[in-house]
Amino acid sequence: METFESLINKPCIFKFRKLFWVGILFTFHFSLLTLLSSCNQTFEPLQDNSDAPFSIFGFLDASVDTQRVRVSPLRKQIDSFTEMPEMTVTLENLETGNTAVMKDSLYQIFFPIGMNAPTAWSTMKVDYGETYRLEAERPDGATSSVTVTIPDDFPTPRLEVSGGVFDRLFIEGAEQLVDVQSRWFFRIILGGQRVGIVVKIPYRRRVQNRGTGAFILNINTNWERSQVIEQFPSATRAEFIGRQIFVAVAGPEWDENIIEYDDLSYALPDVASNVENGIGYMIGIVSKSIPYKNCFDENEDIISCPAEQPIF
What is the structure's pLDDT at 308?
95
Strands 88-93 and 131-137: antiparallel
Q: For the chain, give the number of residues.
A: 312
Closest CA to 245 of 175, 151, 156: 156
Give the single-character DSSP code of 156. P
Q: Is the pLDDT of residue 26 over 90?
A: no
Mean per-residue pLDDT of the chain: 80
* Alpha carbons 109 and 23: distance in angstroms, whole number: 8
Residue 123 pLDDT level (bands cut at 50, 70, 90): very high
Task: Please say whether the dihedral angle defined by the alpha carbons of residues 248, 25, 205 and 69, taken in this order, is positive or negative.
Answer: positive
Amino acid type, 164? G
pLDDT at 106: 54
Partners of 197 in the beta sheet? 24, 186
Domain 32-149 fold is Immunoglobulin-like (2.60.40)
pLDDT at 2 over 60: no
User: 74 or 11: whose pLDDT is higher?
Assistant: 74
* pLDDT (average), residues 99-123: 73
Contacts of residue 156, Cβ cutoff 8 Å, sequence gap at least 6: 288, 290, 304, 305, 306, 307
pLDDT interval class at 232 (50, 70, 90): confident
CA distance 157 to 118: 34
How far apart are alpha carbons 229 and 231 in whole angstroms? 6
One-letter amino acid at 240 equals: F
Kindly report, residue by residue over 29-61, the tens digit of the pLDDT: 323 223 333 333 333 344 444 578 999 999 999
Q: Which of 78-87, 106-115, 256-265 is least confident?
A: 106-115
Question: Residue 17 pLDDT more than 90?
Answer: no
- Determine the pLDDT at residue 104: 84
In b/e form, how buried is each residue of 259-291, taking b as 16+ CB within 10 angstroms? ebbbbbbbbbeebebbbeebbbbbbbbbbbbbb
> Could you tell me the residue ranges of all domains in the chain?
32-149
What Å distances lie between residue 312 and 35, 228, 238, 285, 308, CA to CA?
Answer: 27, 17, 16, 19, 11
What are the pLDDT digits (tens) for 146-181? 999 999 999 999 999 999 999 999 999 999 999 999
Which residues make beta-bridge pairs with 288? 247
Residue 241 — very low, low, confident or very high, per pLDDT cuts 50/70/90? very high
